[in-house]
Amino acid sequence: MTGPLDGVTVVDFSQFLAGPYAALRLLDLGARVIKVEQPDRGDLCRYHYVSDTRIDGESTLFHAINRGKESLTLDLKSPEGRARAHRLVAVADVVIQNFRPGVIDRLGLSYATASALRPGLVYGSISGYGESGDWAGLPGQDLLAQARSGVMGLSGNRGQGPVPVGLPLADIAAGACLAQGLLAGLYRQARSGIGAHVQTSLLEALIDLQFEFLSTWMNNGRVPPQRLAQGSAHGYLAAPYGVYDTAKGHLALAMTPLPALAEALDQPGLAEPLADLDAFRDREAIRALLQAVFATRSADAWERDLGARGIWCARVRDWPDMLAEGGPAVAGMLRPAGDLARVAAPLRIDGVRPEPALRGPGLNEHGAALASEFGLG
């Protein structure tokens, strides 16, 4: 089965995570992705080890983000390398780059240059903080972008200080934003022949992820969200929303009317004190009342019994739990068998999930074949 982007050629000059993630999403939809790397060591991601686990001497992260791509090395600082890059761009449908603002222009591969070489080109750019302003030249790195975006103030409990999200949130979100824009550009390209320059940044992606909170903050007199002392999950939602300790494990509790929860807990003595408390103003007091009840049984028992009564709740699970219990969605994405355990695409088309390639390419693995195919010399 071919994907909907079968026949689309993507030339990816980006490295590390944000740009390569956008290219990966297009690859999973059927596009061909040619990864252009520097000749000496290639993409920094090859050597950025997130653990001591390596595949053929290279980072597992590199293979996860670059599986199924073709590798070609070009020295973009040399006239010969730039000339070869130009010939490649001239036959591309999509070009992706995530250099700091101004660098791609100095390398002779700006949108203006690339679109002149290939009219109708869809060109994607990711930066750290946009192309202008005081932050434009700063390093576009995930943790630093989180620090500048305000997102660190939303997680964790009151008194903890800033809590970074334990994932490369900015990189993945920016890559997803770029992929969305590139798909829109390809649609316009197919309909009219007109290309597009799609631009986003780590900062813009993190602002987008916070749209609910920021919209509230800008309209409520700029009253910030308030984290609970314990079990905090959403600074603007009323009690009982949050995570509770139980006799064994933890229980997450979503939006639930307090009278319905008191009835489901089979605790008649709770109804009256809860009725005297405001779900927003008295979140800490409400949590203390509920915590005393939840501590009497296991999270498994609460999930089973409260779920049967229509209460939205879930036992907090770890990865092995998710793998064991998550069903087809988990089994379809997590591929633990084979030479390299990998994660497949988070989508299905006509009921079929794109099959993930086993690994990323060796450095310049496809150089000779690509040079011959595209006349790169």
**Known catalytic residues?**
171
Q: Contact at 8 Å (CB) between 117 and 90?
A: yes
Q: Contact at 8 Å (CB) between 148 and 220?
A: no
CA dihedral 257, 259, 264, 268 (to 10 degrees): 160
Q: Contact at 8 Å (CB) between 338 and 41?
A: no
DSSP-assigned beta bridge partners for residue 125: 97, 199
As a residue count, the chain comes to 377
Buried b (16+ CB within 10 A) or exposed e, 163-185: bebeebbbbbbbbbbbbebbbeb
Cis peptide leading into 240, omega within 30 of 0?
Answer: yes
Task: Give the three-class secondary structure for 245.
Answer: strand
The pairs formed by 212-219 with CB atoms below 8 angstroms and a separation of 24 or more are 212/236, 213/154
HSE-CB of 225 using CA atoms within 13 angstroms: 25
By DSSP bridging, strand 122-127 and strand 196-201 are parallel
